[in-house]
Amino acid sequence: MKIGVPIEIKNNENRVGMTPSGVFELTKRNHNVYIQKNAGFNSGFLDEDYIEAGATILDTIEEVYSVADMIVKVKEPIEPEYKLIKADQIVFTYFHFASSEVLTNAMIESKSVCIAYETVEDADGSLPLLIPMSEVAGRMSVQQGAKYLEKPIMGRGVLLGGIPGVPPAKVLILGAGVVGVQAARMASGLGASVHVLDINMKALRHVSDVMPNNVISEFSSEYNIRKHIVDSDLIIGGVLIKGAKAPKLITRDMLKEMRPGTVMVDVAVDQGGCFETTKPTTHQDPTYIIDEVVHYSVANMPGAVPYTSTMGLTNVTLPYVIKLANDGWEKACDNSAALAKGLNIVKGEIVYKEIAEAFDMEMA
């Protein structure tokens, strides 16, 4: 199969859909891989690395889309790419169709086969192609929180780990899923005093089993949240109710109860945020202050660490890319129930219920 990897043209997207190691695995199986010139540069991969692994470098995005049977990328196609996508071409990437009717209509019109990373689903309901990005965001949330706790950037002026003779900072983490556990791991490693709240007892048991003694698991309730916010230095929001907007666990009135310079990192911002005062921010201007509380709510946190994020993402996408390349999309989806869940739009027809419902459209 001919596989094309274009440069990501969405604003501030520095990841790339395939690493040289992925190219090596595909060319070894007699597939042809076409990488757009400089596509891997911001993730630390040079054209020479791709050539050495067996890829052909193409100068323009038009050439990549025109030659490829399958496009492998990171973010959803944006307007200039719509017309480049061909009938029957497989497009394997994050789409998030339910949030854009324009994109949905463009892909229906293209008659391509759209397989969305975010809906590939294992038998236990987990989403394997989303997990690494939550891992990145969870770990980063503590790094960012520690930075914004510094006085010059309006934080309380507290060192997360304290020092001998001075107590560490208190970190409150809402949600003990992928984000929450990774955040707890980082915060505890730095020596903070960590409280993790969740409503899922299985998740809390896991935290209690695997985390060191400076991490305390606790049931999530408004009462407990109100109790903790008054003396927390850093609050991290990592809750998710699948398919729904995040619940507003910290309401506007609660900010008055916090100490000035408290930092709140809302990782769940992409699902509407779990703090009432959350609004999406960017890496250029990541924070804002309300009632002397610092808010950090960057919607694409992994974009700031493209090297790690690209490696994390491609580690999990590559096995599916290989299946699609070897077998074609129909056989590959017949053989893998997880991959079949990724089918969203096929040759002009919506095949994923939630997308049809989102726009009141017909399903195939």
Ligand X SMILES: NC(=O)c1ccc[n+]([C@@H]2O[C@H](COP(=O)([O-])OP(=O)(O)OC[C@H]3O[C@@H](n4cnc5c(N)ncnc54)[C@H](O)[C@@H]3O)[C@@H](O)[C@H]2O)c1
- Order of strands, sheet of 170-174, starting from the edge strand that comes earlier in the sequence: 215-219, 193-198, 170-174, 234-237, 263-266, 293-296, 287-290
Q: What is the DSSP letter of 30?
A: T
295 in catalytic set: no
Q: Tell me how far, at minimum, the Cβ of 23 lies from ligand X, in Å.
A: 26
Residue 192 engages ligand X in binding (rule: CB under 6 A):
no
R_g (Cα) of the chain, nearest Å: 22
Q: Considering the candidates 47, 96, 228, 327, report the single residue annotated as catalytic.
A: 96
156, 149 contact by CB (below 8 A) = yes
Q: Tell me how far, at minimum, the Cβ of 207 lies from ligand X, in Å.
A: 10
Residue 339 engages ligand X in binding (rule: CB under 6 A):
no
Closest C-alpha to 262, from 285, 236, 287, 232: 232
Q: Tell me how far, at minimum, the Cβ of 18 lies from ligand X, in Å.
A: 21
Residue 234 engages ligand X in binding (rule: CB under 6 A):
no
d(CA 111, CA 255): 49
Single-letter amino acid, residue 333: C
Residue 264 engages ligand X in binding (rule: CB under 6 A):
no
Residue 145 engages ligand X in binding (rule: CB under 6 A):
no
d(CA 125, CA 147): 35
Residue 53 engages ligand X in binding (rule: CB under 6 A):
no
16 or 58, CB closer to ligand X? Answer: 16
d(CA 205, CA 210): 9
Residue 268 engages ligand X in binding (rule: CB under 6 A):
yes
Contact segment (CB under 6 A) with ligand X among 86-94, 117-125, 158-166, 172-180 equals 172-180
301 or 324, CB closer to ligand X? Answer: 301
Residue 174 engages ligand X in binding (rule: CB under 6 A):
yes
Q: Tell me how far, at minimum, the Cβ of 174 lies from ligand X, in Å.
A: 5
H/E stretch holding 235 reads strand 234-237
Q: How far is CA 146 from CA 69, 125, 165, 215, 246, in A?
A: 45, 33, 20, 17, 24
Residue 183 engages ligand X in binding (rule: CB under 6 A):
no
Ligand-binding site membership of 269 (annotated): yes
Q: Which residues pair with 193 in a beta bridge?
A: 170
Contact segment (CB under 6 A) with ligand X among 54-62, 261-269, 309-317, 346-354 equals 261-269
Nearest residue by C-beta to ligand X? 177
Ligand-binding site membership of 122 (annotated): no
Residue 350 engages ligand X in binding (rule: CB under 6 A):
no
Residue 220 engages ligand X in binding (rule: CB under 6 A):
yes
Residue 14: exposure state from Cβ atoms within 10 A (0-12, 13-18, ≥19): buried
d(CA 8, CA 30): 26
List the one residue from 53, 169, 267, 355 that touches ligand X (CB under 6 A): 267
270 in catalytic set: yes
Closest C-alpha to 172, from 200, 210, 198: 198
Residue 198 engages ligand X in binding (rule: CB under 6 A):
yes
List the one residue from 67, 153, 199, 216 that touches ligand X (CB under 6 A): 199
C-beta atoms surrounding 118 within 10 Å? 18
Binding site for ligand X (CB under 6 A): 133-134, 137, 174-180, 197-200, 203, 220, 238-241, 246-247, 249, 267-271, 299-302
Which residue ranges are tagged as binding site for substrate? 15, 75
Which residue ranges are tagged as binding site? 15, 75, 134, 198, 220, 239-240, 267-270, 298-301
* Residues with catalytic roles: 96, 270
